[in-house]
Chains A and B, each alone.
Chain A
């Protein structure tokens, strides 16, 4: 279901290369990866640490720029964008969650979820409605005034998900979202991500090194090794199509 035509395509990378300079040598973190993700698809990027999966995710997130190749998201090529356009893209098209949650510790839950809307210049009245809506969706509407330090890891990651939803992005990028959680809470978070993927028709690209997790939730598994695409498998067990 993933590759039936460009109008259903959300993300396409074409021979993306990203090198890092380490002392005198050049490390090819991502070395010519071509990958496409259809709208509403749930892709898991798998690989050992140092395989380049996080670098690829950062490139798709617009936090980093490729040295060569193209990254086309929703019709526009990130490689040609100015940094202001990239910021615009991160603001409106992408939502991100991280292994270490990355909530601002000095802000309350409400303020954390509100933060991306400040950059997107959403009006104050609308912000309140959207924060409430996003927090309801992740089941944290009663914790608005709490700071991240007063919340469990699972709650923090749910808060991060709510924040990622605030600007209603089309693409959710998750970098080891369960890496800092126990398996029970990890499952809860993954259920939540799948629910968002289904009900909001968000394209999800998730970096993980847990194959079992990927097999349970993603409908396509992409394997990276040494910055290159080394394998791909459509997940037969996943019944997303049937559920729709």
Chain B
């Protein structure tokens, strides 16, 4: 029998017992919906968790420190100092950049300086200055940025934290460490305005003329009053500390600290990475190295961002082999993945239960149909239908209920997910928590649910179909 005849016959049979078949199909739909709803909850929660963790900048990041000095971040792993230890310099940085799966390498930068608004001659704020690579743009801190991200890696621009913004505006301080979001009015007083940063440049070589430098800068920026801040080089053999000033435009204000997990302490102001590197600012941890002459510039710590979080351990191993200390929170991420696999499995089993019950409904409906259509099956056989034809008709009926039920269920599951998401977000908003999309229905889940539903239905149709095919036409046609 041709496919369209098969489908047509199956279709008319389904319509003939419309109510019963609709109810059975609805049952399948509910089963699929519960499966879709359960799994999309699992997937959504997993995505939420990995997104939150991923955007904290920790899961694809390896922090590299040198084994030969102890000035690096406290979280550097204690590693035995071996003969292999190498300085963490530009050569090492270049090596890391060349590794497979490494997306970018940048220094963990932390300097100090005095900052004030260009228009505010008096209010100097001593503060820590950090940097952000261009890739930080997608970080979660920039979800509710006021203003924008840096226009380029070398732009003379700054992004500040909300509470530092209050400092600049001479508003009373919030409790320390709380995330502060400025009112639009306050933000407008800062965005696009200029701030003046006073810092110290690290200048190698012998006795750089400090005075000359300041004068030059002074000409460029006459507002900068730089008084007797001259710092004499501690050791002319290594480098000099040259005071400098720089005018920066405030482009963005964020309430929470970007890439917070990588730093210690609070960094209230950020410069573009390349700009900061070109400035050669003296970094916070470098005071110790001022006492120790060194030819080359070395880094306190380098942050290696890995392209895929799966490759973190491989990159980490490679860097360790080169003689550096590394740190990542890979193991935590492995545990999370395992947890969510179990959660998905658990939710999936629960969701499938309803589908299993629904498939019994299909068996029931089709066995009933055989009893009802006994004579019809006999007629079809007398007219030349083979056992296979009869079997296929029942099979297609079961499959059609599966497809319809699956489509219905996927739609229903999606709607339920949406509704719960919506309701929960209203609740979260009332609680002043940022709404989250924790219910995710990916297209592959819809396709898989549909496929699974068809498969389960066909499987349920197996017994009725073969029973119908085996029906003896002589018995079926006996007129009594």
Contact = CB atoms under 8 A, between A and B. Distances in A.
Contact of A118 (B1, B16, B479): B1
Please classify how large the interface on chain B is, using the bins under 10, 10 to 19, 20 to 34, 35 or more: 20 to 34
A14 interface: no
B479 A87 contact: no
A211 B3 CA distance: 46
A63 B474 contact: yes
A7 interface: no
Given A63-B473, A83-B387, A87-B389, A96 B382 contact: yes
B474 A90 contact: no
A235 interface: no
B379 A99 contact: no
A119 B380 CA distance: 9
A90 B16 contact: no
Among A92, A98, A102, find the residue whose CB has the most chain B CB atoms closer than 10 A: A102
Given A63-B474, A98-B477, A98-B479, A106 B12 contact: yes
B274 to A, nearest CB: 72
B474 A58 contact: yes
A99 B386 contact: no
B171 to A, nearest CB: 81
A64 interface: yes
B384 A84 contact: no
- Among the interface residues B9, B375, B383, B388, which one has the most CB atoms of the partner chain A within 10 A? B383
A91 B384 contact: yes
A120 B384 CA distance: 7
A118 B9 contact: yes
From DSSP, what is the main secondary structure of chain B's interface residues? helix
Contacts, number: 67
Contacts of A10: none
A34 interface: no
Contact of A64 (B384, B385, B474): B474
B379 A104 contact: yes
A121 interface: yes
A163 B378 CA distance: 15
Nearest to A93: B384
Contacts of B185: none
Given A90-B381, A106-B12, A119-B1, A83 B386 contact: yes
Contacts of A121: 1-2, 5
Contacts of B318: none
The residue among A64, A84, A99, A104 with the most chain B CB atoms within 10 A of its own CB is: A104
Given A87-B389, A99-B479, A106-B16, A119 B474 contact: no
B230 interface: no
A90 B383 contact: yes
A52 interface: no
B376 interface: yes
A152 B210 CA distance: 119
A240 interface: no
Contacts of B5: 118, 121
A61 interface: yes
Contacts of B16: 106
A84 B388 contact: yes
B384 A90 contact: yes
Given A63-B474, A121-B1, A90 B382 contact: yes
Interface string B1-31: 1100100010010001000000000000000
Nearest to A96: B382
A96 B477 CA distance: 12
A115 interface: yes
Contacts of B1: 118-119, 121
A102 B375 contact: yes
Contacts of A107: 12
Interface in B366-416: 375-376, 378-389
A58 B475 CA distance: 11
Contacts of B477: 63, 98, 102
A84 B386 contact: yes
A100 interface: yes
A231 to B, nearest CB: 26
B380 A115 contact: yes
A63 B479 contact: no
A102 B476 CA distance: 11
B360 to A, nearest CB: 26
A88 B383 CA distance: 10
A51 interface: no
B14 to A, nearest CB: 12
A69 interface: no
A213 to B, nearest CB: 18
Contacts of A177: none
A98 B385 CA distance: 17
A102 B386 contact: no
* The 4 nearest A-B residue pairs measured at CB: A91-B384, A87-B386, A116-B383, A118-B5
16 contacts: A84-B387, A87-B381, A87-B384, A87-B385, A88-B386, A90-B381, A96-B382, A102-B378, A106-B12, A107-B12, A115-B380, A118-B1, A119-B1, A119-B384, A120-B384, A163-B383
